[in-house]
Structure 1
Amino acid sequence: MVEPLRMTYPNGVQYQRRDDVEAMIGQLEQLPRDQLIQRMQISTPTHPDFVPPECILHFVRKSKQDNSTRQFELMYKALLARVVYAGTVPGAYHYVNGKQAITGRAAKIVESVVFAFELKLTKDRNGYLAGLDYYEVNFADSIKSLRSTARAKVDREESRNEPLSYDDDEAISSEVEKAAGAFDPQNREKIDDPVYRSALDAAISKLPAEERSVILLSRKGYQDASIDPDVITISSLLDCNDQTVRNRRKRAIGKLKKALEELE
C-alpha cells in the first residue's frame, strides 16, 4: 500500500493523490531503482513509460528512508527538470543569432521557482513538510503558484530600477576582491550566536536574487561545479558556469561583510 499523504483540508478530509498517480506509484515501487530512475528521465509526456512529476516527487521524498545519496541525486535531477519546465513562463525563449535563449526576466523567475521548491524539499528531508503534499496531488498547479509569486517578486525588483553595473562573467574588480577578502560569513566562532545568525540572515535576504541563491545553496553544501554530470551543483541548479558562481559569491560576501561590520 502506498504511504498516504498527511495534509488535511480545513474540514479534516485528508489529501488524496489522483487515482492514476496512486496506481502508478504502486507499479513503480516494484521496479529496480535503476530502472525506475531511467523512466524518470523520460521527458516526453506521450511516451508510454513517462512518469508524472507527482510520482517522481513521491519517490524523491521517500528516498530519505533508503539512505542512498546517489539515488536521491539522480531522482532529484529528474524532478528538477520538471520544476524548471513547469516554472518557465510562456514566451520565455527567443532567438539570438539563430540560437534559442531564455530572456533575463524569465530566467530570474525560473531561478526563484527552483529555489523556493528546493527550500521546501530541504525542509521535508529534515522532517516532514505537510505543505509539500499538495505537490503530489497537483504538481502543475503547485508550481504555477510558485511561478506567480516569483513573477511578482521579479517585477517588484525590476521596478526598483536597481542598476547592475557588472557582467557576471567579467573579472571581479580589485574593490570587490578587497571587500570580500578572507571573510567567512559562516564563521564558526560567531555562527552559534543567535544574534549574529539573525543579522546574517537579514543581510542575506537583502542581497540581489542571483547572489542570495549562491550563498544559500553554498550553506547547504552544494559544490560550485563538478566534472561528474550526475552531481547536482550550484552551477547546474542556477544554469550558469562556475566562474559566474564564484563572481556572485565574492560580490555577495563583500556586501555581507560590510553589512555585518556596520552592525558591529
Structure 2
Amino acid sequence: MIEALRKHRGDGRCYERRPDITAILLDLEGLSQERLVYRAQIRLKTDPQYLPSECLLHLIRKSKRDNSNQLFETLFRILMARVESAATLRSEIYRLPTGKMAITTFGIKVRDHVVDRFLARLIADRNGYDERLDYFEINFAHAIASLRSTAKAKAASEEKRYQPLAANDDEEVSAEVEKAAGAFDPFDTTKIDDGNYRFRLFAAIKKLPEKERHVVALLFKEYPIESNDPDKPSICKILGCVEKTVRNRRDRAFEKLKAALSEEQIDA
C-alpha cells in the first residue's frame, strides 16, 4: 500500500500525487530491490521503464520504513545526481581554452544552494518526516525550480553587495560582468532561429535602458564597435561615443540579457 502524503493545502486537503505517478508506484509494488535499482538507473526518459524523480524520492523515503539501507544508498546517489543536474544553470556553463567544461562562480553558488537545501530536507525526513518533501513527490521539477529561483536571487544579491556595478559609462565594469559578457552571445546562431528564444530575447532587449538598447540593436545589425575605415560606419561613430563607453554599455546589456534568458528547462 502506498502511504499517503501528510502535508495539507490551504483549504485543509492533503497533498495528493498525480495519477500517473501513483500508477507507476503501484506497478513497483512487489518488485525486488535488484529490479528497482535497474529501473532507477535508466536515464532515457522515453524508455517505458524510466522512473520519474517523484517515484525515486518515494522509494527513498519508503526505504526508511523498510529498513533497507543498501537500497537507500543506491537510490540516493541516483537522485542526488539528478538534483545536481537540475540545479545547474546551463547558461553558467562555459568551455575553457583547454576544451574542458566549467561553471561560473555564480552557477556554483546556485547549484550548491539547491543541493544543500534539498539534502537538508532529505536528512530531516530520514530522521522523522519532513512535510516539505511532499510537494517534491507531486511535482519534483517545479519544486527544484522553486529552490533554484531562491538560490539565484540570493546569489545575485550577494554579487550586488560585494561587487557593485558601475553606473558611469566611462567607469570600468566589474571583472565579473566583463567575463560574463565575453562568454555570452545573445545572437548565437544555434539559438536565434528558435522562435521561442527569439521572442524572449527581443522582449528582454526592449526592457534595457535606452543607451544599452541602442548598442545591442546595432550589434544585432552586425555593425562593428570601431572601424579604422573612415568610410565604414561603426557603433562608436553612429552613437558618438568612444570605444570604452560602447563596450561598457554592451557588457551591462549582455549581463542583463543573460539573466533574463537564464531559466532553462529542468531535467529532473
Question: Secondary structure, in 3 states, of the residue corresponding to 1:141?
Answer: helix
DSSP 3-state at the match of 2:134: helix
Aligned to 1:168: none
State the Cα distance separating 1:7 from its structure 2 match: 1.1
- Give runs of aligned pairs for residues 105-124 of structure 1, distance below 5 A: 105-124=106-125
Q: Residues 51-130 of structure 1: matches in 2 within 5 Å? A: 51-96=51-96, 97-130=98-131
CA distance in 2, matches of 1:128, 1:65: 11
State the partner residue of 1:138.
Answer: 139
Q: Which residue of 1 aligns with 2:217?
A: none
Hey, what's the Cα distance between the residues in 2 that align with 1:44 and 1:109? 26
Q: Which residue of 2 aligns with 1:154?
A: 155
Which residue identity lines up with residue 38 of structure 1 in the other structure? Answer: Y
Q: Does structure 1 residue 23 correspond to structure 2 residue 23?
A: yes
Provide the secondary structure at the position in 1 that maps to 2:101.
strand
CA shift, 1:101, in A, is: 2.2
Q: Secondary structure at the match of 1:135?
A: helix
TM-score by length of 1: 0.58
What CA distance in whole angstroms lies between the structure 2 residues aligned with 1:75 and 1:153?
Answer: 30
Q: What's the secondary structure of 1:94's corresponding residue?
A: strand
Give the root-mean-square deviation of aligned CA atoms: 1.5
Q: 1:44 to 1:103 in 2, by over 3 A?
A: farther
In 1, Cα distance between the equivalents of 2:28 and 2:101?
35
String of CA shifts for 1:87-141, please: whole Å, max 9, x gaps: 1223132111222222222122111100000001111111111121000000000
C-alpha distance after superposition, 1:6-31 (max 9, x if no partner): 11111111111111100101111221
Unaligned runs of 5+ residues in structure 2 are 164-268
Alpha-carbon displacement from aligned partner over 1:151-173 (angstroms, at most 9, x marks no partner): 111122222328xxxxxxxxxxx
Match of 2:207 in 1: none
The Cα of 1:142 is off from its aligned counterpart by 0.3
- Separation in structure 2 between the aligned mates of residue 160 and residue 26 of structure 1, nearest angstrom: 50
Amino acid at match of 1:118: L
Greater length-normalized contact order (CA 8 Å, ≥ 6 residues apart): 2
TM value normalised by structure 2:
0.57
Matched AA of 1:61: R
Equivalent residue of 1:91, what SS?
A: helix
Residue 7 in 1 paired to residue 16 in 2? no
- CA separation in 1, counterparts of 2:100 and 2:131? 42
- Partner Cα separation in structure 2 for residue 105 and residue 3 of structure 1: 39
AA paired with 1:101? Answer: A
**Distance of 1:126 and 1:9 partners within structure 2:** 24
Number of aligned residues: 162
Q: Distance in 1 between matches of 2:92 and 2:39?
A: 27
| Alpha-carbon distance between aligned partners in 2 of 1:3 and 1:12, rounded to the nearest angstrom | 18
Whichever residue aligns with residue 93 of structure 1, its letter is I
Residue 19 of structure 2 aligns to which amino acid in structure 1? D
Q: Which has the larger radius of gyration?
A: 2
Moved more, 133-142 or 69-78: 69-78
Percent of aligned pairs with the same amino acid: 45
Q: Deviation per CA, 1:49-93: give whole Å up to 9, x if none.
A: 110000000011111112232221111111111211221223132
- In the alignment, what sits opposite 2:208? none
